[in-house]
Amino acid sequence: MFLNVYALSHNVPAGTHLIEVAAIGYFFSPVRVDVSARNPGKIQAALTENRRGLSEFVLEPLKEEQYYE
């Protein structure tokens, strides 16, 4: 999955947002996105598991989920 955080600046209110990906059979790390109220268009994104800053990235699953019936 490709996420361009700069595209998030349109029609997204200022504040902190959490992006969670739901895909059957996979587990993705949530992404924290901070949209600045003081500096319009300024966005910071980081993976929640390690706080590494991001600009553009390809989001890959951390693992395959195992489901039991």
Concatenating the DSSP letter of every residue in 9-62 gives: GSS--SEEEEE---BTTEE---EEEEE-SSSTT-EEEEETTT--EESEEE---S
Would you state the pLDDT for residue 45? 77
Domain of 34, in residue numbers: 2-60
Summarize the confidence of residues 39-67 as an average pLDDT.
69
Is residue 50 predicted with pLDDT exceeding 70? no
DSSP 5: G
In a domain, residue 33? The reply is: yes
Share of the chain above pLDDT 90, in %: 3
In a domain, residue 68? The reply is: no
- Grade residue 19 by pLDDT with cuts at 50, 70 and 90: confident
Q: How many domains are there within the chain?
A: 1
- Which position has the higher pLDDT, 54 or 40? 40
In a domain, residue 23? The reply is: yes
In a domain, residue 66? The reply is: no
Would you state the pLDDT for residue 56? 53
